[in-house]
Amino acid sequence: MNIKPEQLHSSVSNQMASTYFAFGAEILLVEQSLSTIKAAGRENGFTERFRFDIDGNFSWDSIFSLISSPSLFAEKRIIECRLTSGKIGVRGSKALTEIVGALPEDILLIISSGKLEMVQQKSKWFKALDKNGVIIQHWEVQSNQLVGWITRNMTQLGLDSNIEAANAIAYCTEGNLLATMQEIEKLKIAYPDGKINLREYLDQIDQQSQYSVFGLIDSALLGDTDKVNKIFNSLVDDSIPPVILISSLYREITNLVMMSIELKTNDTLESILNKHRVWQKRKPFISNALKKHSYQKLQKILLKLGRIDRSLKGMDNLNVYDELQNVVISLSGNNNELNI
């Protein structure tokens, strides 16, 4: 049986299944589901736990032996199987199918893996899990879903689900869910009563980003060429990997291109900024860039970033750092021409 991740807490609270399988590309989300299942298991008396890391060469005899042996310390046991991939082999498929089909009542079987290909989701062992247990598939959190995901996790930790704070976290962590969750947890430590001092928090974010990639991009969007050069040289001196600069700039300018297209449909700038969840503090930066740069120039910058990325991979001959500096200077409004 398939359930959505948001249904899991209610499901385990009502009635525990004998088998759970959580999988997906976002490891943090899978781990959150595993924590929920194991916590519910402990509440239902499953207090002894055994863990196995499983690949195609794993010997399943150890699990069969464990299942058939009585527990020495507790009535109920958790067997946790972490699949290193969905390719568990013919023997693994046969063994897992047999295990889930005849699991004793004193065993809670919890299985997890990363992303599975569709062919693996049609395998015999996957169908056996679907028939005999509960499957929780986690999809990657898309950029337009991230703020909502952050506010839900803030609420779960007892924090005010403040949209401005959530937007700031989303911007600074760039979709890295582990870093995002760490930032939410730091908020909980800073504001244990859940009441976030928004001005204080945004000022802190602002200070942290002054000489970071975020500070570089915001200075460019605002048109402060002198500060752009200062921050860029500081980042180079700190040996920042160029791939971080490329990916951050590409993400920002792609969003600008999308907003630039929407401006042509006579949508108001404010409605577009709200649609793209631009947090209040960044609205002046984005507004300035959209007024200053045409759709054509933004596209030209994207093409240049593509060439810089190919050069980094040895497929083109540009000087990566020099060209990246030209890109951010051009983004700041300097009239230098970008040669594609």
In order of 172, 240, 305, 321, the CA distances from 236 in angstroms are: 20, 6, 17, 8
Q: What is the pLDDT along the chain (340 residues), one digit of tens a residue?
A: 888 888 888 888 888 898 999 999 888 899 999 999 999 999 999 888 899 998 888 888 888 988 888 766 667 889 999 998 778 888 888 999 998 888 888 889 999 999 888 888 888 888 999 999 999 999 888 777 888 899 989 998 999 888 888 888 887 777 778 888 988 998 999 999 989 888 888 877 766 666 788 888 888 998 989 989 999 998 888 888 888 889 889 989 999 999 999 988 877 888 888 888 787 778 899 999 999 999 999 999 999 999 999 999 999 888 999 999 999 999 998 766 566 5
Give the pLDDT score at 27.
87
The whole model's pTM is what?
0.65
How far is 198 from 202, CA to CA, in rounded Å?
6
Give the pLDDT score at 335.
63
> Where does the chain have alpha helices with state H?
8-14, 27-43, 61-68, 89-101, 118-121, 124-132, 146-156, 163-173, 177-190, 198-209, 213-222, 225-237, 242-263, 269-275, 283-292, 295-312, 320-331
Structure token pair of residue 263: 């401006």
Choose which CATH entry (3.40.50.11540, 1.20.272.10, 1.20.120.550, 3.40.190.100) describes domain 210-331.
1.20.272.10
In order of 101, 153, 247, the CA distances from 196 in angstroms are: 49, 14, 31
The correct answer on CATH 1.10.8.60 for the domain covering 146-208 is yes
Sign of CA dihedral 275, 276, 281, 287: negative
Q: Which CATH architecture has domain 2-138?
A: 3-Layer(aba) Sandwich (3.40)
Do the Cβ atoms of 37 and 110 come closer than 8 Å?
yes
Give the pLDDT score at 337.
58
Give the pLDDT score at 311.
93
End-to-end CA distance of the chain: 53
Domain boundaries, the chain: 2-138, 146-208, 210-331
Give the pLDDT score at 323.
92
Phi, psi of 233 (to 5 degrees): -65, -35
Give the pLDDT score at 209.
61
- CB atoms < 10 A from the CB of 118, how many? 6
